[in-house]
Chain A
Amino acid sequence: GDSVTQMEGPVTLSEEAFLTINCTYTATGYPSLFWYVQYPGEGLQLLLKATKADDKGSNKGFEATYRKETTSFHLEKGSVQVSDSAVYFCALTYSYNTDKLIFGTGTRLQVFP
């Protein structure tokens, strides 16, 4: 079945370091891909999305490129801040499958000053 695999956390970085959080997926079709972020005690916020191969989603300095050949959607940021500390979820969906989101298990990011 369809699934999303994320790198295990926590990822611990110093402020201004480069961030990569790996995400790969298994899907029978061509899904849309998303990154969501969850701050402590809160629900999920959509961070960025890409709806077809080679699309690049970007928001707040974060980027991810939809790579069909490697079935990946890795999240990157050039310079992280303490305020980026949160749990990041990679997810996929497609409309012929009820639009349900299939999430990875999440990756916790901790950024220290």
Chain B
Amino acid sequence: ETGVTQSPTHLIKTRGQQVTLRCSSQSGHNTVSWYQQALGQGPQFIFQYYREEENGRGNFPPRFSGLQFPNYSSELNVNALELDDSALYLCASSPYPTENYGYTFGSGTRLTVV
């Protein structure tokens, strides 16, 4: 097992720019979800992908979008960055159904928008 790997670990962007965050899921996990964790808060669900299809979305605007690839790796794209997008972005993968297994989380990407 290699776990969930996220890249980059940190990055700084300017307001209005676009960013792509990447995630490599744990082997055998066909479900991937992305979460946003603001400082001092619990993670908030952004969306989930199952077998390359979006399978649910949280309360985030359309400028947050994603992809899942045939090898189950994933990307999170954020357009028109705002200062409030500064947060730790966590990728999590699981076999299906998640309720039986729980998610395995990556260490996250710390995004700072200035």
Residue among A44, A89, A104, A105 with most chain B CB within 10 A: A44
Q: Of all chain A residues, which has the CB nearest B33?
A: A100
- Collect the chain B residues with CB atoms within 8 Å of residue A4's CB: 42
Report the count of interface residues on A (CB-CB < 8 A): 28
Q: Is B8 an interface residue (CB 8 A)?
A: no
Q: Are A43 and B42 in contact (CB under 8 A)?
A: no
| Distance of A101 Cα from B47 Cα, bound (Å) | 11
Distance in angstroms from A24 CB to nearest chain B CB is 14
Residue among A46, A98, A105 with most chain B CB within 10 A: A98
Interface residues in chain A, defined as those with a beta carbon under 8 Å from any beta carbon in chain B: 4, 31-32, 34, 36, 41-46, 49, 51, 89, 91, 93-95, 97-106
Interface residues in chain B, defined as those with a beta carbon under 8 Å from any beta carbon in chain A: 4, 6, 31, 33, 35, 40-45, 48, 55-56, 58, 90, 92, 94, 96-100, 102-108
